[in-house]
């Protein structure tokens, strides 16, 4: 690990100016659960770390019936999962948060950092000069690719590791991005990018831009939601695949609904055709079977990960049955 400067800004403007001045060498630091690993593995060698933890206004949780949930980017994952409103109204988010990492990491990791974390590909994290690190090859194509993506890949075949991001997609969440120039709000579905759009980054953040808040709209009383994560180990592990769904139900009909998937693509994945077919769908197991069979129809799995397709389809069917059973 090389020596680096430690910068303690007092506000977002100072943090943005420090990060934008030499953005390839100055990195933002929040919980540090991902960044410190990247530095130790020499994936990142920053000349400076910019500590965000002392900046006011980034670690609170607010809720109103009109505006919904506003979450500061520095809120710890464990703090968010224990919040009364999250537990009562946003079950899909609570479940995803509790499936994230280990208790120790949830006590340190922040929601903003979780959304912005780097991929866990062993070639990217290992001693390989891959595409995402400026090389000219994705080693997963002809290498060990059991856990890599089945859709949205090329030329790089990472999967996005965030659990909460998958849940938040089904809730139509958005993020506030701030810089020295001002702030803007972006839908979460537009926040993440595919490798074909930017081989070096996983999101739209530009030099000096910082995620400050996550916004989740209010949900109706007839809304049910849930999250299922399949992992190989019972202990802490990243998702092989995961499925989230948020449904608004009236009687035996799904009035509106959204599903999202993790572990299958370089970004948390949604398919608009599936969400459209959820609208007006009668609550019958046969309908769920037909709908689930349509998921990832355009997938192009690698030679070791085609098993993800029936797995994610069956998990969606299982989740829809669970959410509509009561």
Tell me, letter by letter, the H, E, C secondary structure of 104-126.
HHHHHCEHHHHHCCCCCCHHHHC
- Alpha helices in 22-135, H assignment, sequence order: 35-40, 77-81, 84-89, 91-98, 103-108, 111-115, 122-125
Cis previous bond, 56, omega within 30? no
CATH architecture of 223-324: 2-Layer Sandwich (3.30)
Q: Could you count the other beta carbons within 10 Å of the beta carbon of residue 84?
A: 9
Q: Are residues 262 and 269 in contact, defined by beta-carbon separation less than 8 angstroms? A: yes
Q: Is residue 6 within 8 Å of 49, Cβ to Cβ?
A: yes
Tokens standing for 143? 């290498």
Q: Looking at residue 235, what is its pLDDT?
A: 74
Burial readout 119-140 (b: 16 or more C-beta within 10 A, e: otherwise): bebebbbeebebbbeeeeebbb
User: Which region holds residue 176: left if phi is over 0, alpha if psi is between -120 and 50, else beta?
Assistant: beta
CA distance to 48, 71, 144, 241, per residue, from 139 (Å):
30, 37, 8, 21
- Cβ within 8 Å of residue 197, ≥6 positions away: none
Q: Provide the 10 A C-beta neighbour count for residue 83.
A: 19
- Mention every residue, 6+ apart, whose C-beta is less than 8 A from residue 171: 90, 92, 93, 216, 217, 219, 225, 246, 258
**Domain assignments of the chain as residue spans, ordered by start:** 223-324
Which residue in 166, 212, 229 sits closest to 192, CA to CA?
Answer: 166
d(CA 66, CA 51): 33
What does the chain come to in residues? 326
Q: What is the pLDDT of residue 24?
A: 61
The torsion angles phi and psi of 152, rounded to 5 degrees, stand at 80, 5
Tell me which residue of 242, 266, 241, 270 sits closest to 257, measured CA to CA: 270
- Per-residue model confidence (pLDDT) at position 234: 76
Place of tokens 């948060």: 97
Quick one: tokens of 252? Answer: 């035996």
> pLDDT tens, position by position, for the chain (326 residues)?
778 899 999 999 999 999 987 656 889 999 999 999 999 989 999 999 999 999 999 999 999 999 999 999 999 999 999 999 999 999 999 999 999 999 999 999 999 999 999 999 999 999 999 999 999 999 999 999 999 999 999 999 999 999 999 999 999 999 999 999 999 999 999 999 999 999 999 999 999 999 999 999 999 999 999 999 999 887 788 999 999 999 999 999 999 999 999 999 999 999 999 999 999 999 988 999 999 999 999 999 999 999 999 999 999 999 999 999 96
Spatial distance between the Cα atoms of 37 and 152, rounded to a whole number of angstroms: 26
Rounded CA-CA distance 119/162 in Å is 9
DSSP 69: E
Residue 326 pLDDT: 66
């Amino acid at each position: 690990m090389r020596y680096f400067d430690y910068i303690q800004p007092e506000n977002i403007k100072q943090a943005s100016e420090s990060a934008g001045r030499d953005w390839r060498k100055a990195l933002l630091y929040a919980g540090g659960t991902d960044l410190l690993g990247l530095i130790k593995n020499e994936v990142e060698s920053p000349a400076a770390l910019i500590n965000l933890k002392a900046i006011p206004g980034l670690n609170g949780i607010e809720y109103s019936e009109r505006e919904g949930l506003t979450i500061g980017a520095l809120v710890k994952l464990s703090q968010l999962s224990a919040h009364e409103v999250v537990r009562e109204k946003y079950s899909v988010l609570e479940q995803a948060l509790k499936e994230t990492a280990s208790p120790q990491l949830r006590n340190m990791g922040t929601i903003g950092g979780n959304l912005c974390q780097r991929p866990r590909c062993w070639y990217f994290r290992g001693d390989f000069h891959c595409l995402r690190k400026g090389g000219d090859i994705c080693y997963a194509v002809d290498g060990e690719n059991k856990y890599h993506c089945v859709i949205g890949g090329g030329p790089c075949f990472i999967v996005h590791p965030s659990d909460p991001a998958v849940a938040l997609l089904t809730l139509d969440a958005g993020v506030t991005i701030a810089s020295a120039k001002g702030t803007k709000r972006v839908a979460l579905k537009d926040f993440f990018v595919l490798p074909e759009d930017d081989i070096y980054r996983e999101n739209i953040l530009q030099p000096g831009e910082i995620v400050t808040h996550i916004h989740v709209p209010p949900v109706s009383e007839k809304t049910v939601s849930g999250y299922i994560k399949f992992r190989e180990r019972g202990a802490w592990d990243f998702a092989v695949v995961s499925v989230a769904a948020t449904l608004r139900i009236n009687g035996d009909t799904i009035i509106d609904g959204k599903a999202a998937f993790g572990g299958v693509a370089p970004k948390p994945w949604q398919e608009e055709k599936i969400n459209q077919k959820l609208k007006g769908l009668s609550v019958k197991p046969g309908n769920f079977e037909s709908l689930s069979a349509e998921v990832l129809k355009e997938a192009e799995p690698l030679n070791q990960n085609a098993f993800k397709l029936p797995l994610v389809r069956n998990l969606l069917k299982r989740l829809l049955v669970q959410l509509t059973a009561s």
